[in-house]
A = this chain, B = another copy of it.
Amino acid sequence: MADEHLIEHKVSGVQVYAGHFLDVRCDQVHTPDGGSATREYIVHPGAVMVVPVLDDGRLVMERQFRYPLGRVMLEFPAGKLDPGETRQACAQRELAEETGYRATRWARACVVHNACAYSTEGIEIWFARDLQPGPRRLDEGEFLDVCHMTEAELDLLARQGELTDVKTLIGLQWLQKWRAGLWPLDWVACA
C-alpha cells in the first residue's frame, strides 16, 4: 500500500479518563519503522455547524463564553451529535435550540477535522436558508447571545485577527466561495 511507510497500527488501548464530556484514550501503537509509541487522544461523538443565511443576506451568529479560553467567542451555531442522531437532524436541532430559527432549505458543505493530533472530532458544515424565527430552547447551563452579521463584517474581523474560531472562519470561506460561484452547494428542501 502506498502509505504504509506512514501508517501506525494499534497494539492495545485503555480509557484513561471518562468524564461527563471527555473520553480520553491512551493507545500503544507500532510505528512504521517497527518501533513503539504512545498515542493519547479524545474520542468525540462528532459535531455539526450551521451557516444560517437570512433572506437579506445576513448571517445568524452566536456569542458564547468559552471557558477553556476564558473569553466570549463569535461563532456560527454548532453542537455535538446526540447518540443515534444523523448529522442533518443535529444541524436542524442545534439551529432551532440555540437560535430559534427553523430553515426549509439545507446544503451540506464539507466535513472538517479540527484537532487531528489529539481528537477524533469531525465537524460537518451545513448551510441553511429560508429561515423563520421562533422560540429558542437552550440546554441547562448554556448561555449565549444571538446576533446578525453581514459577510463584510465577518471578513473584516477575520482580516483583523478578531474572528478566531476555526469552524466559523471556514464557514466564512465557504460562504464567500459559494457566493462567488466557485464552490457549489447542493440545496435540498427539508422542513
Enumerate chain A interface residues (CB-CB to B < 8 A): 3, 5-8, 16-17, 19-22, 24, 26-27, 29, 31-33, 35, 37-42, 63-69, 72-73, 75, 109-122, 141, 143-145, 155, 158-159, 161, 164-167, 169-170, 172-173, 177, 182-184
Minimum CB–CB distance for A16 against chain B, Å: 5
CB–CB B167/A118 < 8 A: no
CB–CB A161/B111 < 8 A: yes
In the complex the two chains form, what is the Cα distance from A5 to B166 in whole Å? 24
Would A22 and B118 be within 8 Å (CB), given that A6-B63, A37-B141, A164-B113 are in contact?
Answer: yes
* B-side contacts of A165, CB under 8 Å: 112-113, 116
A41-B68, A116-B165 are known; give 8 further A-B pairs, CB within 8 A: A6-B143, A8-B65, A22-B42, A66-B113, A66-B117, A155-B182, A159-B184, A172-B173
In the complex, the count of this chain's copies comes to 2
CB–CB B120/A69 < 8 A: yes
In the complex the two chains form, what is the Cα distance from A19 to B164 in whole Å? 28
* B-side contacts of A158, CB under 8 Å: 110, 173, 183
* B-side contacts of A144, CB under 8 Å: 6
CB–CB B66/A141 < 8 A: no
Which residue of B has the minimal Cβ distance to A121?
A: B115
CB–CB B16/A17 < 8 A: yes
Minimum CB–CB distance for A99 against chain B, Å: 15
Which residue of B has the minimal Cβ distance to A184?
A: B159
Contact among B75, B143, B167 for A32, CB-based, below 8 A: B143
* B-side contacts of A141, CB under 8 Å: 31, 35, 37
CB–CB B166/A68 < 8 A: no
Minimum CB–CB distance for A153 against chain B, Å: 15
* B-side contacts of A159, CB under 8 Å: 177, 182-184
* B-side contacts of A6, CB under 8 Å: 63-65, 72, 143-145
